[in-house]
Structure 1
Protein backbone atom coordinates (compact mmCIF):
# COMPACT_ATOMS: atom_id res chain seq x y z
CA UNK A 1 0.00 0.00 0.00
CA UNK A 2 1.45 3.31 -1.13
CA UNK A 3 -0.01 5.96 1.17
CA UNK A 4 0.92 8.75 -1.23
CA UNK A 5 -0.94 7.02 -4.09
CA UNK A 6 -4.08 6.12 -2.10
CA UNK A 7 -7.19 7.43 -3.82
CA UNK A 8 -8.92 8.30 -0.55
CA UNK A 9 -7.44 11.51 0.87
CA UNK A 10 -7.69 12.76 4.44
CA UNK A 11 -9.45 16.06 4.97
CA UNK A 12 -8.68 17.80 8.24
CA UNK A 13 -11.21 20.56 7.59
CA UNK A 14 -14.33 18.43 7.91
CA UNK A 15 -15.99 17.24 11.16
CA UNK A 16 -15.23 13.56 10.53
CA UNK A 17 -12.70 12.06 12.97
CA UNK A 18 -9.29 11.49 11.43
CA UNK A 19 -9.09 7.93 12.73
CA UNK A 20 -12.30 7.14 10.85
CA UNK A 21 -10.89 8.69 7.67
CA UNK A 22 -7.78 6.50 8.01
CA UNK A 23 -10.05 3.51 8.43
CA UNK A 24 -11.98 4.46 5.27
CA UNK A 25 -8.69 4.89 3.41
CA UNK A 26 -7.64 1.31 4.20
CA UNK A 27 -11.09 -0.09 3.36
CA UNK A 28 -11.08 1.81 0.07
CA UNK A 29 -7.67 0.38 -0.87
CA UNK A 30 -8.99 -3.13 -0.17
CA UNK A 31 -12.16 -2.48 -2.19
CA UNK A 32 -10.30 -1.20 -5.25
CA UNK A 33 -7.79 -4.06 -5.17
CA UNK A 34 -4.70 -2.10 -4.21
CA UNK A 35 -4.64 -4.10 -0.97
CA UNK A 36 -5.22 -7.83 -1.38
CA UNK A 37 -5.52 -10.81 0.93
CA UNK A 38 -2.23 -11.27 2.79
CA UNK A 39 -0.77 -7.89 1.84
CA UNK A 40 1.19 -6.11 4.56
CA UNK A 41 0.19 -2.59 5.60
CA UNK A 42 2.71 0.19 6.21
CA UNK A 43 3.98 0.54 9.75
CA UNK A 44 2.16 2.97 12.06
CA UNK A 45 5.07 5.42 11.86
CA UNK A 46 4.75 5.48 8.05
CA UNK A 47 1.08 6.43 8.36
CA UNK A 48 2.03 9.21 10.78
CA UNK A 49 4.79 10.66 8.63
CA UNK A 50 2.96 10.39 5.32
CA UNK A 51 -0.43 11.63 6.52
CA UNK A 52 0.82 14.05 9.19
CA UNK A 53 -1.33 12.59 11.94
CA UNK A 54 -0.65 11.22 15.41
CA UNK A 55 0.20 7.62 16.23
CA UNK A 56 -2.84 7.15 18.54
CA UNK A 57 -5.07 8.18 15.61
CA UNK A 58 -3.51 5.55 13.35
CA UNK A 59 -3.59 2.90 16.07
CA UNK A 60 -7.29 3.48 16.78
CA UNK A 61 -8.15 3.06 13.09
CA UNK A 62 -6.12 -0.11 12.71
CA UNK A 63 -7.37 -1.53 16.02
CA UNK A 64 -10.96 -1.20 14.83
CA UNK A 65 -10.14 -2.94 11.55
CA UNK A 66 -8.42 -5.76 13.44
CA UNK A 67 -11.42 -6.09 15.78
CA UNK A 68 -13.74 -6.28 12.76
CA UNK A 69 -11.63 -9.03 11.17
CA UNK A 70 -10.56 -6.90 8.19
CA UNK A 71 -6.92 -6.88 9.28
CA UNK A 72 -4.84 -9.28 11.32
CA UNK A 73 -1.71 -8.58 13.39
CA UNK A 74 1.15 -11.06 13.47
CA UNK A 75 3.78 -10.87 16.17
CA UNK A 76 7.06 -9.39 15.01
CA UNK A 77 5.75 -9.30 11.43
CA UNK A 78 3.21 -6.49 11.16
CA UNK A 79 -0.39 -5.93 10.13
CA UNK A 80 -1.89 -7.73 7.14
CA UNK A 81 -5.13 -7.94 5.19
CA UNK A 82 -7.08 -10.85 6.69
CA UNK A 83 -9.19 -13.49 5.02
CA UNK A 84 -12.88 -12.52 4.94
CA UNK A 85 -14.83 -13.91 7.87
CA UNK A 86 -17.02 -16.94 7.31
CA UNK A 87 -20.77 -16.37 7.58
CA UNK A 88 -22.50 -18.96 9.77
CA UNK A 89 -26.23 -18.90 9.13
CA UNK A 90 -28.06 -19.06 12.44
CA UNK A 91 -30.51 -21.63 11.05
CA UNK A 92 -27.67 -23.96 10.02
CA UNK A 93 -26.11 -26.42 12.43
CA UNK A 94 -22.33 -26.78 12.72
CA UNK A 95 -22.98 -30.23 11.21
CA UNK A 96 -23.40 -28.49 7.85
CA UNK A 97 -20.21 -26.44 8.14
CA UNK A 98 -18.14 -28.72 5.91
CA UNK A 99 -20.79 -28.68 3.17
CA UNK A 100 -21.06 -24.89 3.45
CA UNK A 101 -17.31 -24.51 2.93
CA UNK A 102 -17.20 -26.97 0.03
CA UNK A 103 -20.08 -25.13 -1.66
CA UNK A 104 -18.03 -21.93 -1.44
CA UNK A 105 -14.97 -23.70 -2.95
CA UNK A 106 -13.02 -23.67 0.33
CA UNK A 107 -11.27 -26.81 1.51
CA UNK A 108 -12.69 -28.06 4.80
CA UNK A 109 -11.75 -31.12 6.84
CA UNK A 110 -13.22 -32.66 9.98
CA UNK A 111 -10.97 -34.25 12.58
CA UNK A 112 -12.56 -36.60 15.10
CA UNK A 113 -10.83 -35.92 18.42
CA UNK A 114 -12.81 -38.33 20.59
CA UNK A 115 -15.69 -40.81 20.33
CA UNK A 116 -16.59 -42.83 23.40
CA UNK A 117 -19.18 -43.55 26.09
CA UNK A 118 -18.98 -41.36 29.20
CA UNK A 119 -20.72 -41.42 32.54
CA UNK A 120 -23.92 -39.45 33.00
CA UNK A 121 -23.69 -35.68 33.22
CA UNK A 122 -26.65 -34.43 35.18
CA UNK A 123 -27.21 -31.19 33.28
CA UNK A 124 -26.93 -32.81 29.85
CA UNK A 125 -29.10 -35.78 30.84
CA UNK A 126 -31.78 -33.27 31.76
CA UNK A 127 -31.52 -31.56 28.37
CA UNK A 128 -31.92 -34.95 26.67
CA UNK A 129 -34.84 -36.03 28.91
CA UNK A 130 -32.80 -39.01 30.16
CA UNK A 131 -32.78 -40.71 33.51
CA UNK A 132 -30.10 -39.47 35.86
CA UNK A 133 -28.21 -42.78 35.53
CA UNK A 134 -28.00 -43.19 31.73
CA UNK A 135 -24.58 -42.96 30.11
CA UNK A 136 -23.85 -40.72 27.12
CA UNK A 137 -22.08 -40.99 23.79
CA UNK A 138 -19.45 -38.25 23.57
CA UNK A 139 -18.33 -37.06 20.13
CA UNK A 140 -15.69 -34.33 19.86
CA UNK A 141 -14.68 -32.88 16.47
CA UNK A 142 -12.59 -30.08 15.00
CA UNK A 143 -13.35 -28.33 11.69
CA UNK A 144 -10.49 -26.78 9.70
CA UNK A 145 -10.63 -24.52 6.66
CA UNK A 146 -7.38 -25.18 4.86
CA UNK A 147 -4.94 -25.57 7.72
CA UNK A 148 -6.76 -23.14 10.03
CA UNK A 149 -8.89 -24.51 12.90
CA UNK A 150 -12.22 -22.66 12.90
CA UNK A 151 -14.62 -24.44 15.26
CA UNK A 152 -14.70 -27.41 17.57
CA UNK A 153 -17.72 -29.15 18.96
CA UNK A 154 -18.67 -31.57 21.71
CA UNK A 155 -21.87 -33.52 21.07
CA UNK A 156 -23.70 -35.78 23.53
CA UNK A 157 -26.27 -38.45 22.60
CA UNK A 158 -28.18 -41.10 24.61
CA UNK A 159 -25.92 -44.17 24.66
CA UNK A 160 -28.75 -46.73 24.87
CA UNK A 161 -30.69 -45.30 21.96
CA UNK A 162 -27.70 -44.72 19.68
CA UNK A 163 -25.11 -47.36 20.60
CA UNK A 164 -24.84 -48.31 16.89
CA UNK A 165 -23.25 -44.91 16.16
CA UNK A 166 -20.01 -45.66 17.98
CA UNK A 167 -18.31 -47.26 14.95
CA UNK A 168 -19.27 -44.66 12.33
CA UNK A 169 -16.93 -42.31 10.43
CA UNK A 170 -17.74 -38.69 11.27
CA UNK A 171 -14.97 -37.18 9.16
CA UNK A 172 -16.96 -37.48 5.90
CA UNK A 173 -20.66 -37.63 6.78
CA UNK A 174 -22.22 -35.34 9.35
CA UNK A 175 -24.07 -36.65 12.38
CA UNK A 176 -27.54 -35.95 11.01
CA UNK A 177 -26.79 -37.81 7.76
CA UNK A 178 -25.56 -40.81 9.77
CA UNK A 179 -28.67 -40.72 11.99
CA UNK A 180 -30.90 -40.69 8.92
CA UNK A 181 -29.02 -43.46 7.11
CA UNK A 182 -28.58 -45.79 10.08
CA UNK A 183 -31.55 -45.03 12.32
CA UNK A 184 -34.15 -43.47 10.04
CA UNK A 185 -34.25 -40.47 12.35
CA UNK A 186 -34.72 -36.97 10.96
CA UNK A 187 -33.59 -33.89 12.86
CA UNK A 188 -36.45 -31.41 12.56
CA UNK A 189 -36.07 -28.69 15.20
CA UNK A 190 -33.37 -26.97 17.23
CA UNK A 191 -33.09 -24.77 20.27
CA UNK A 192 -29.97 -22.62 19.96
CA UNK A 193 -28.30 -20.24 22.38
CA UNK A 194 -25.31 -18.11 21.33
CA UNK A 195 -23.09 -15.88 23.44
CA UNK A 196 -19.68 -14.24 23.21
CA UNK A 197 -17.02 -15.56 25.60
CA UNK A 198 -13.27 -15.24 26.05
CA UNK A 199 -11.20 -18.19 24.86
CA UNK A 200 -9.81 -20.45 27.57
CA UNK A 201 -6.27 -21.81 27.50
CA UNK A 202 -7.59 -25.06 26.02
CA UNK A 203 -9.54 -23.15 23.35
CA UNK A 204 -6.44 -21.17 22.38
CA UNK A 205 -4.35 -24.32 22.01
CA UNK A 206 -6.97 -26.35 20.14
CA UNK A 207 -7.99 -23.56 17.75
CA UNK A 208 -4.47 -22.30 17.16
CA UNK A 209 -5.28 -18.78 18.37
CA UNK A 210 -2.20 -16.56 18.56
CA UNK A 211 -3.31 -14.12 21.24
CA UNK A 212 -4.81 -14.22 24.71
CA UNK A 213 -8.22 -12.73 25.54
CA UNK A 214 -9.49 -13.76 22.11
CA UNK A 215 -13.25 -13.87 21.61
CA UNK A 216 -15.26 -16.97 20.76
CA UNK A 217 -18.84 -17.60 19.73
CA UNK A 218 -20.14 -20.11 22.26
CA UNK A 219 -23.14 -21.98 20.86
CA UNK A 220 -25.29 -24.55 22.66
CA UNK A 221 -27.67 -26.55 20.52
CA UNK A 222 -30.42 -29.03 21.35
CA UNK A 223 -31.72 -30.94 18.33
CA UNK A 224 -35.04 -32.81 18.31
CA UNK A 225 -36.59 -35.48 16.09
CA UNK A 226 -40.01 -35.47 14.39
CA UNK A 227 -41.73 -36.43 17.65
CA UNK A 228 -40.04 -33.62 19.57
CA UNK A 229 -37.74 -36.07 21.36
CA UNK A 230 -34.22 -34.70 21.97
CA UNK A 231 -31.60 -36.37 19.77
CA UNK A 232 -28.45 -34.64 20.94
CA UNK A 233 -27.04 -31.75 22.92
CA UNK A 234 -23.93 -30.00 21.66
CA UNK A 235 -21.54 -27.19 22.52
CA UNK A 236 -19.60 -25.43 19.76
CA UNK A 237 -16.78 -22.93 20.14
CA UNK A 238 -16.16 -20.83 17.03
CA UNK A 239 -13.30 -18.41 16.49
CA UNK A 240 -14.64 -14.87 16.71
CA UNK A 241 -11.86 -13.61 14.44
CA UNK A 242 -12.86 -16.01 11.66
CA UNK A 243 -16.66 -16.27 11.68
CA UNK A 244 -19.79 -14.23 12.23
CA UNK A 245 -23.42 -15.20 12.62
CA UNK A 246 -25.88 -14.35 9.88
CA UNK A 247 -29.64 -14.69 9.65
CA UNK A 248 -32.53 -13.47 7.55
CA UNK A 249 -36.03 -12.91 8.86
CA UNK A 250 -39.25 -11.16 8.01
CA UNK A 251 -40.18 -7.87 9.64
CA UNK A 252 -43.27 -8.22 11.81
Structure 2
Protein backbone atom coordinates (compact mmCIF):
# COMPACT_ATOMS: atom_id res chain seq x y z
CA UNK A 1 0.00 0.00 0.00
CA UNK A 2 1.19 3.46 -0.82
CA UNK A 3 2.39 5.11 2.39
CA UNK A 4 1.82 8.68 1.21
CA UNK A 5 -1.03 10.76 2.54
CA UNK A 6 -3.13 12.08 -0.38
CA UNK A 7 -4.64 14.97 1.57
CA UNK A 8 -2.44 17.91 2.49
CA UNK A 9 -1.99 18.80 6.18
CA UNK A 10 -3.68 21.86 7.60
CA UNK A 11 -1.94 25.17 7.00
CA UNK A 12 1.06 25.47 9.27
CA UNK A 13 1.18 21.78 10.12
CA UNK A 14 4.11 19.66 8.93
CA UNK A 15 3.50 16.27 7.32
CA UNK A 16 3.33 13.21 9.53
CA UNK A 17 6.12 10.65 9.47
CA UNK A 18 5.56 7.76 11.93
CA UNK A 19 9.24 6.86 12.08
CA UNK A 20 10.03 10.41 13.16
CA UNK A 21 6.92 11.44 15.08
CA UNK A 22 6.13 8.34 17.13
CA UNK A 23 8.44 7.76 20.07
CA UNK A 24 7.70 4.95 22.52
CA UNK A 25 9.18 4.22 25.90
CA UNK A 26 9.30 0.48 26.68
CA UNK A 27 9.92 1.28 30.36
CA UNK A 28 6.77 3.36 30.73
CA UNK A 29 3.83 1.85 32.64
CA UNK A 30 1.61 2.99 29.77
CA UNK A 31 1.13 0.15 27.25
CA UNK A 32 2.96 0.54 23.96
CA UNK A 33 -0.25 0.50 21.91
CA UNK A 34 -1.64 3.32 24.07
CA UNK A 35 1.51 5.42 23.58
CA UNK A 36 1.20 4.98 19.82
CA UNK A 37 -2.54 5.70 19.76
CA UNK A 38 -2.13 8.88 21.83
CA UNK A 39 0.56 10.22 19.51
CA UNK A 40 -1.47 9.36 16.42
CA UNK A 41 -4.51 11.07 17.93
CA UNK A 42 -2.43 14.21 18.54
CA UNK A 43 -1.34 14.15 14.88
CA UNK A 44 -4.98 13.90 13.77
CA UNK A 45 -6.03 16.76 16.03
CA UNK A 46 -3.28 19.15 14.90
CA UNK A 47 -3.66 18.34 11.21
CA UNK A 48 -0.46 16.38 10.52
CA UNK A 49 -2.77 13.42 9.80
CA UNK A 50 -5.54 15.19 7.87
CA UNK A 51 -9.05 13.97 7.19
CA UNK A 52 -8.94 11.51 4.30
CA UNK A 53 -5.27 10.68 4.87
CA UNK A 54 -4.40 7.00 4.44
CA UNK A 55 -2.12 5.11 6.84
CA UNK A 56 0.49 2.54 5.99
CA UNK A 57 -0.81 -0.97 6.51
CA UNK A 58 -0.08 -2.68 9.82
CA UNK A 59 2.90 -4.65 8.50
CA UNK A 60 4.59 -1.53 7.11
CA UNK A 61 3.90 0.52 10.25
CA UNK A 62 5.21 -2.25 12.46
CA UNK A 63 8.40 -2.46 10.40
CA UNK A 64 8.94 1.31 10.39
CA UNK A 65 8.40 1.55 14.15
CA UNK A 66 10.23 -1.72 14.91
CA UNK A 67 7.27 -2.98 16.91
CA UNK A 68 5.04 -6.04 16.70
CA UNK A 69 2.07 -6.10 14.36
CA UNK A 70 -0.41 -6.91 17.21
CA UNK A 71 0.73 -3.74 19.02
CA UNK A 72 0.11 -1.64 15.91
CA UNK A 73 -3.23 -3.35 15.31
CA UNK A 74 -4.36 -2.62 18.88
CA UNK A 75 -3.33 1.05 18.57
CA UNK A 76 -5.21 1.47 15.30
CA UNK A 77 -8.27 -0.36 16.60
CA UNK A 78 -8.47 1.91 19.64
CA UNK A 79 -8.63 4.93 17.30
CA UNK A 80 -11.25 3.18 15.17
CA UNK A 81 -13.37 2.75 18.31
CA UNK A 82 -12.92 6.47 19.05
CA UNK A 83 -14.21 7.36 15.59
CA UNK A 84 -10.90 8.87 14.43
CA UNK A 85 -9.95 6.16 11.93
CA UNK A 86 -12.03 3.98 9.65
CA UNK A 87 -11.13 0.75 7.89
CA UNK A 88 -12.37 0.51 4.29
CA UNK A 89 -12.10 -2.64 2.22
CA UNK A 90 -9.90 -2.07 -0.80
CA UNK A 91 -8.73 1.30 0.53
CA UNK A 92 -7.12 0.61 3.88
CA UNK A 93 -7.20 2.67 7.06
CA UNK A 94 -8.14 6.33 6.67
CA UNK A 95 -8.42 9.32 8.96
CA UNK A 96 -11.94 10.64 9.42
CA UNK A 97 -12.84 14.14 10.57
CA UNK A 98 -12.12 14.75 14.22
CA UNK A 99 -15.14 14.90 16.50
CA UNK A 100 -16.56 18.14 17.76
CA UNK A 101 -15.92 18.01 21.50
CA UNK A 102 -18.48 20.18 23.20
CA UNK A 103 -18.24 21.24 26.85
CA UNK A 104 -21.37 20.95 28.95
CA UNK A 105 -22.25 24.55 29.68
CA UNK A 106 -25.13 26.92 29.06
CA UNK A 107 -24.32 27.67 25.43
CA UNK A 108 -25.68 26.76 22.03
CA UNK A 109 -24.04 24.43 19.53
CA UNK A 110 -23.70 27.47 17.23
CA UNK A 111 -21.74 29.30 19.95
CA UNK A 112 -19.51 26.32 20.66
CA UNK A 113 -18.67 25.70 17.00
CA UNK A 114 -17.78 29.36 16.54
CA UNK A 115 -15.63 29.25 19.70
CA UNK A 116 -13.75 26.24 18.28
CA UNK A 117 -12.99 28.19 15.11
CA UNK A 118 -15.41 26.16 13.00
CA UNK A 119 -17.95 27.86 10.74
CA UNK A 120 -21.44 26.88 11.91
CA UNK A 121 -24.07 26.40 9.23
CA UNK A 122 -27.81 25.94 9.66
CA UNK A 123 -30.62 24.63 7.51
CA UNK A 124 -34.00 25.76 8.81
CA UNK A 125 -36.60 23.01 8.42
CA UNK A 126 -39.34 24.54 10.56
CA UNK A 127 -39.92 27.97 12.10
CA UNK A 128 -43.52 28.64 13.01
CA UNK A 129 -45.96 29.49 15.77
CA UNK A 130 -48.53 26.78 16.49
CA UNK A 131 -51.04 25.80 19.20
CA UNK A 132 -49.15 24.71 22.28
CA UNK A 133 -50.90 21.48 23.12
CA UNK A 134 -50.66 19.74 26.47
CA UNK A 135 -47.20 18.23 25.87
CA UNK A 136 -45.52 21.50 24.85
CA UNK A 137 -47.17 23.39 27.72
CA UNK A 138 -45.93 20.75 30.18
CA UNK A 139 -42.38 20.79 28.78
CA UNK A 140 -42.30 24.59 29.04
CA UNK A 141 -43.79 24.38 32.55
CA UNK A 142 -46.56 26.78 31.52
CA UNK A 143 -49.97 25.10 32.02
CA UNK A 144 -51.93 28.04 30.58
CA UNK A 145 -49.77 28.45 27.48
CA UNK A 146 -51.79 28.72 24.26
CA UNK A 147 -49.14 29.04 21.54
CA UNK A 148 -45.51 28.05 21.08
CA UNK A 149 -42.81 28.71 18.54
CA UNK A 150 -41.54 25.47 17.08
CA UNK A 151 -38.06 25.31 15.54
CA UNK A 152 -36.35 22.46 13.70
CA UNK A 153 -32.89 22.91 12.20
CA UNK A 154 -29.93 20.90 10.94
CA UNK A 155 -26.64 22.23 12.29
CA UNK A 156 -23.56 21.57 10.15
CA UNK A 157 -19.93 22.62 9.82
CA UNK A 158 -17.72 22.33 6.76
CA UNK A 159 -20.72 21.09 4.80
CA UNK A 160 -21.07 18.09 7.13
CA UNK A 161 -24.24 17.71 9.26
CA UNK A 162 -23.71 17.30 13.00
CA UNK A 163 -27.11 17.54 14.65
CA UNK A 164 -30.86 17.84 14.18
CA UNK A 165 -32.15 20.40 16.65
CA UNK A 166 -35.77 20.79 17.80
CA UNK A 167 -37.00 23.56 20.11
CA UNK A 168 -40.15 24.85 21.75
CA UNK A 169 -40.24 28.45 22.95
CA UNK A 170 -43.17 30.31 24.50
CA UNK A 171 -44.68 32.48 21.79
CA UNK A 172 -43.60 36.12 21.98
CA UNK A 173 -40.13 35.68 23.49
CA UNK A 174 -38.46 36.07 20.11
CA UNK A 175 -39.73 36.22 16.53
CA UNK A 176 -36.72 35.15 14.44
CA UNK A 177 -36.64 35.03 10.67
CA UNK A 178 -35.20 32.01 8.89
CA UNK A 179 -32.23 34.15 7.89
CA UNK A 180 -31.53 35.03 11.54
CA UNK A 181 -31.71 31.37 12.49
CA UNK A 182 -29.23 30.51 9.75
CA UNK A 183 -26.77 33.22 10.76
CA UNK A 184 -27.00 33.24 14.56
CA UNK A 185 -27.38 30.84 17.46
CA UNK A 186 -30.63 30.55 19.38
CA UNK A 187 -29.09 31.65 22.66
CA UNK A 188 -27.55 34.69 20.99
CA UNK A 189 -30.98 35.65 19.64
CA UNK A 190 -32.48 35.24 23.11
CA UNK A 191 -29.79 37.39 24.71
CA UNK A 192 -30.18 40.12 22.08
CA UNK A 193 -33.91 40.14 22.87
CA UNK A 194 -33.08 40.84 26.51
CA UNK A 195 -33.58 37.34 27.89
CA UNK A 196 -31.20 36.70 30.77
CA UNK A 197 -30.33 33.00 30.62
CA UNK A 198 -29.63 31.62 34.07
CA UNK A 199 -29.66 27.81 34.31
CA UNK A 200 -30.69 24.62 32.55
CA UNK A 201 -31.62 21.03 33.27
CA UNK A 202 -30.14 18.61 30.75
CA UNK A 203 -30.28 14.89 30.03
CA UNK A 204 -28.00 13.02 27.62
CA UNK A 205 -28.76 9.64 26.14
CA UNK A 206 -28.46 7.57 22.98
CA UNK A 207 -30.63 5.86 20.39
CA UNK A 208 -30.44 4.40 16.91
CA UNK A 209 -30.98 6.51 13.82
CA UNK A 210 -34.32 6.31 12.08
CA UNK A 211 -34.56 6.55 8.30
CA UNK A 212 -35.43 10.26 8.68
CA UNK A 213 -32.44 10.85 10.99
CA UNK A 214 -30.15 9.04 8.57
CA UNK A 215 -31.27 11.19 5.66
CA UNK A 216 -30.71 14.43 7.54
CA UNK A 217 -27.40 13.45 9.17
CA UNK A 218 -25.76 11.48 6.35
CA UNK A 219 -25.67 8.32 8.48
CA UNK A 220 -26.92 4.79 7.94
CA UNK A 221 -30.28 3.82 9.48
CA UNK A 222 -29.54 2.12 12.79
CA UNK A 223 -26.35 4.12 13.42
CA UNK A 224 -25.74 5.31 16.98
CA UNK A 225 -26.90 8.82 17.80
CA UNK A 226 -26.44 10.91 20.92
CA UNK A 227 -29.55 12.58 22.28
CA UNK A 228 -30.00 15.62 24.49
CA UNK A 229 -33.02 17.18 26.16
CA UNK A 230 -32.58 20.58 27.76
CA UNK A 231 -34.90 22.89 29.70
CA UNK A 232 -33.52 26.43 29.96
CA UNK A 233 -34.58 29.01 32.57
CA UNK A 234 -34.13 32.77 32.75
CA UNK A 235 -33.21 34.68 35.89
CA UNK A 236 -36.85 34.83 36.99
CA UNK A 237 -37.22 31.04 36.91
CA UNK A 238 -39.34 31.04 33.75
CA UNK A 239 -38.72 28.34 31.13
CA UNK A 240 -37.65 30.14 27.94
CA UNK A 241 -36.74 27.15 25.81
CA UNK A 242 -37.06 23.38 25.68
CA UNK A 243 -34.86 21.53 23.21
CA UNK A 244 -34.59 17.93 22.09
CA UNK A 245 -31.70 17.22 19.76
CA UNK A 246 -29.87 14.30 18.14
CA UNK A 247 -26.15 14.29 17.32
CA UNK A 248 -23.95 12.04 15.21
CA UNK A 249 -22.05 9.87 17.66
CA UNK A 250 -19.32 9.37 15.05
CA UNK A 251 -18.63 13.11 14.98
CA UNK A 252 -19.63 14.45 18.34
CA UNK A 253 -18.78 14.19 22.03
CA UNK A 254 -19.76 15.95 25.23
CA UNK A 255 -17.06 16.85 27.76
CA UNK A 256 -17.85 16.84 31.48
CA UNK A 257 -15.77 18.22 34.35
CA UNK A 258 -16.19 16.28 37.59
CA UNK A 259 -15.18 17.32 41.08
CA UNK A 260 -14.89 15.35 44.28
CA UNK A 261 -17.91 16.00 46.48
CA UNK A 262 -18.17 16.08 50.26
CA UNK A 263 -17.04 12.91 51.98
TM range (shorter): 0.7 to 0.9
- Equivalent in the alignment of 1:37: 50
- Per the TM alignment, residue 110 of structure 1 is displaced from its structure 2 partner at its CA by 2.0
The alpha carbon displacement at 1:47 in A equals 6.6
Deviates more, 1:68-77 or 1:148-157: 68-77
Equivalent residue for 2:11?
A: none
Q: Are 2:236 and 1:227 equivalent residues in the alignment?
A: yes
Aligned pairs for 1:49-88 within 5 A: 53=69, 61-74=75-88, 77-88=91-102
How far is 1:123 from its partner? 2.7
In the alignment, the residues of structure 1 paired with residue 47 and residue 243 of structure 2 have an alpha-carbon distance, to the nearest angstrom, of 43
* Counterpart pick for 2:209 among 186, 199, 206: 199
Contact persistence 1:91–1:247 (CA under 8 A) = no
| Counterpart residue number, 1:154 | 166
Give the gaps of 5 or more residues in structure 1: none
Could you say if the C-alpha distance between residues 156 and 29 of structure 1 is closer, same or farther in structure 2, counting changes exceeding 3 Å? closer
TM-score of the pair, normalised by structure 1: 0.75
CA distance in structure 2 between the partners assigned to 1:133 and 1:4 by the alignment: 61
> 1:46 Cα deviation (Å)?
5.9
1:82 to partner: Cα distance: 2.9
Aligned equivalents of 2:38 and 2:257: distance in 1? 26
Residue 157 of structure 1 and its aligned partner are, at CA, apart by 1.4
Q: After alignment, is 142-151 or 66-75 more displaced?
A: 66-75
State how many pairs are aligned: 239
Aligned partners of 1:100, 1:236: CA distance in 2, in Å?
Answer: 15
Q: TM-score, normalization: structure 2?
A: 0.73
Q: Within 2, Cα distance between the matches of 1:64 and 1:250?
A: 27
Match of 1:100 in 2: 112
Which SS does the other structure have where 1:165 is aligned?
A: coil
The separation in 2 between residues aligned to 1:138 and 1:5, in whole angstroms, is: 54
Cα distance in 2 for partners of 1:73, 1:62 equals: 10
Moved more, 40-49 or 102-111: 40-49
- Which secondary structure state, in structure 1, belongs to the residue aligned with residue 149 of structure 2? strand
1:242 to 244, 248, 251: 251
Residue 112 (structure 1) aligns with? 124
Write the deviation string for residues 110-159 of structure 1: whole angstroms up to 9, x where unpaired.
22221113343433321212347723211111221111111221001123
For the pair 1:25 / 2:36, whether they are aligned, the reply is yes
